[in-house]
Amino acid sequence: MRLDSLSTLNYRNLAPCTLLFPAGVTGVFGENGAGKTNLLEAAFLALTGLTDVTRLEQLVQQGETEAYVRADLESSGSLSVQEVGLGRGRRQLKVDGVRVRTGDLPRGSAVWIRPEDSELVFGSPSGRRAFLDSLLSRLSARYAEVLSRYERTVSQRNAALRGGEEWAMHVWDESLVRLGTEIMTTRRRALVRLNELAGEANAALGSRKPLTLSLAESTTPEAYAQDLASRRAEELARGSTATGPHRDDLVLTLGDFPASEYASRGEGRTVALALRRAELELLAERFGERPVLLIDDFSAELDPGRRAFLLDLAASVPQAIVTGTERAPGAALTLRAHGGRFTPEVTAEPLPGEPLAEEVRA
């Protein structure tokens, strides 16, 4: 997968621009607040249609009502144009000029690694569930569909519980068990490979403590219906669904202890890095192409060994964009970020046939 160019308009603090990216590593450096993270966020949105921002208005430049990002990308030898329009809390996606839904964009096109990933380790189970669910949704359109139907069912069932509609519960329970069972089964199956890949990455990161991933499930496919029935009174009193995959956790065990409670900051960042590399490998295995790698703040909280791991990872994919407050070594192109603008610095001779990276202001 290759991002040939990225265009943005009214996206956060970014000046309207089209940036051309060469193969290999593009380093983006600049002071705090220059727009480095915003650039990666815009690239991730244009490549995948995904954002974890809940209020889309946040992405639109203050004082404007609409924003736009566009990626020209190359995948398995063919070119395509992906556009995302943001406005009035909505997101509109187009591929080659035709309106599509998020799931229709190539699902393995990018992986984004950032310092906030540590929250996966130290934060609440919901963040780890979101990591697993978002990865599985990208690996399988079926999982995305079942998950969204399950989540709708939980919220409708919760409303029925709050309304004291005990008589309707058998209908909700039947859908919940059917959809929930499929979610649990898919998670269990995917975890086998995810666990292997994360364990390998953790070892490659030089960690002496082994990393193991496991699911802490609030119920099992076999016991789900019975568990719901036995907690009916409690659920009616609380007005919420007490068991099921929406309550489960992805437990990260480092050595003998859960990383969420015992890992040091740096160990936590290492575990998060191992998860992201596992994500990259899984997407590459599934789609037969290595994603574009977006690395935010490559030096944050990392010792030299782990920084080297990240830079090696960047060098192992066809294309990576690496930001930092200092220059990333070995980049094919270096952009200096300043006030939402990106200016190329010539650091290396271009490869024969490789266009010179340049910036075109709209």
Q: Which residues bind to ligand ATP, rule: CB under 6 A?
A: 12-13, 30, 32-38, 58, 60-62, 297, 325, 337
For the beta carbon of residue 169, count every other beta carbon within 10 angstroms: 18
* DSSP letter string, 153-167: HHHHHHHHHHTT-GG
Coarse DSSP helix, strand, coil percentages of the chain, rounded to the nearest 5 percent: 45, 25, 30
Establish whether 30 is an annotated binding residue: yes
Query: What crossing angle do the helices spanning 265-287 and 304-316 adopt, rounded to 10°?
Result: 10
Nearer to ligand ATP, 258 or 344 (CB): 344
Establish whether 233 is an annotated binding residue: no
Nearer to Mg ion, 4 or 116 (CB): 116
Q: Taking CB under 5 A as the rule, does residue 38 contact Mg ion?
A: no
Q: Taking CB under 5 A as the rule, does residue 299 contact Mg ion?
A: no
Stretch that binds Mg ion, among 33-41, 129-137, 147-155, 178-186 (CB under 5 A): 33-41
Unique residue bearing structure tokens 């490869």: 351
Distance CA 74, CA 207 (A): 36
Establish whether 36 is an annotated binding residue: yes
Stretch that binds Mg ion, among 30-38, 119-127, 158-166, 229-237 (CB under 5 A): 30-38
Q: Taking CB under 5 A as the rule, does residue 319 contact Mg ion?
A: no
Closest residue to Mg ion using C-beta atoms: 37
Partners of 93 in the β-ladder: 84, 100
CA distances 277 to 117, 130, 135, 284, Å, are 12, 17, 12, 11
Of Mg ion, ligand ATP, none, which one does residue 128 interact with (CB within 5 to 8 Å by kind)?
A: none
Unique residue bearing structure tokens 């308009």: 9
Q: Quick check: helix, strand or coil at residue 298?
A: coil
Distance CA 330, CA 104 (A): 35
Nearer to Mg ion, 37 or 243 (CB): 37
Nearer to Mg ion, 37 or 219 (CB): 37
The single residue among 37, 137, 260, 334 that binds Mg ion, judged by CB under 5 A, is 37
User: Which residue positions form the known binding site for ATP?
Assistant: 30-37
Q: Please report, as ranges, the residues that interact with Mg ion according to CB under 5 A.
A: 37
